[in-house]
Amino acid sequence: MDAQALYDYSPVLRLMGLGLVIALGPLAWVWLRRRDASPAQRLAWLTGLTLFLTFDLVLFGAFTRLTDSGLGCPDWPGCYGSASPIGASASIAAAQEAMPTGPVTFSKAWIEMIHRYLATAVGVLILVLASVSWFERRRLQQSLFWPLVTLFWVCLQGAFGALTVTMKLFPAIVTLHLLGGMALLALLRLQAVRYQQLLEPPSAHQRPGAGTRWALWAMFGLLWVQIALGGWVSTNYAVLACRDFPTCQGSWWPVMDFAGGFEWWRELGQRRSGDAIPFPALTAIHYTHRLVAYGVLLALAALAWHLHRREGRADQARTLLLLGGWQLLTGLSNVVLEWPLVAAVAHTGGAAALVVVLTGWLTQAHPRGVETAPPPTAHGYPA
């Protein structure tokens, strides 16, 4: 039996058609619900809906990774050259018969392809957003910079999705793919807030103090470091390197190989030399993520206290504490319950929610152009 080519573009038009069909649902919903609204209002709604679907896509991506379905279809963009597992049933059956516990099964193939369908639909929605922003740029007096960056970024995400498959779950690529999904959430959230600011009077925008803005940026940066470490834990399957808490392997400082654990460019399960990655290296990956998590939780608590006591933003403080508690609970569940699927997906969801929340607050804290923008009229257009 001939080996399947890693890239087979024969089903690409059918996949694009499926993505368009899926995207037509949200587009029709926004059009019907907001057909009498201004372009700015429709863009705000469509951006918010695309953000929601992208959040779902990030969670489904985590589900795909955690169910070992990333290679459910070993080629890209289709499945054995077909647009769905139905057309590839013979090839999938043969692969499953040859290796019953291998990466290719019917359920894994469907999970992988559904992820690709959703990703294509999100790409279509972002293309629509960029196109509408271009057509309405003069009327809305909005820059095209962020819509075009988002369009470029979703294309880049597609490329990383392809590399995830063709490079056989290469840890660095999979981690970058996760970070790219989080960055896509941030880009969409930024635009959603900008459109909302366009529809509100300038007096509605109250900037926090300089100290608070610096604190938000510091928290934002620390969060990205922790997400990268979490992605590295997941893609190297290092979650169960420590199965107890608060110690690891019964020790406060277990045997660890940091050099082996943080070799960035290497195959899954191997060191750069080609040797199998040792268990102390997996321990170093896990424990580093855990130690940084302590710092993140303390930083979240400190920022929540600052927002409540210094800025009078009690709702924002409660949101931070709630998300921090969620991450603590789901993170602990991954360890002591030995990585249950629900807890693992929920942990990714908590990180994604923190990205969305902090991006929104930072955008509101830096309302560039809002103070001098013309106020909207009754129809939502700038006067």
So which residues are the catalytic ones?
112
170 and 163 Cβ atoms separated by less than 8 Å = yes
Eight-state DSSP code of residue 366: S
Helix (H, G, I), strand (E, B) or coil at 270: strand
Instruction: For residues 132 and 39, give the distance between their C-alpha atoms in angstroms, rounded to a whole number.
Output: 8
125 and 50 Cβ atoms separated by less than 8 Å = yes
Point out which residues pair with 380 in neighbouring strands.
Answer: none
Closest by alpha carbon to 25, among 43, 40, 39, 46? 46
Would residue 99 be called left, alpha or beta, if left means φ above 0 and alpha means ψ between -120 and 50 degrees? beta
Helix, strand, coil share (%) of the chain residues, nearest 5 = 70, 5, 30
Name the token pair of 122: 């999100």
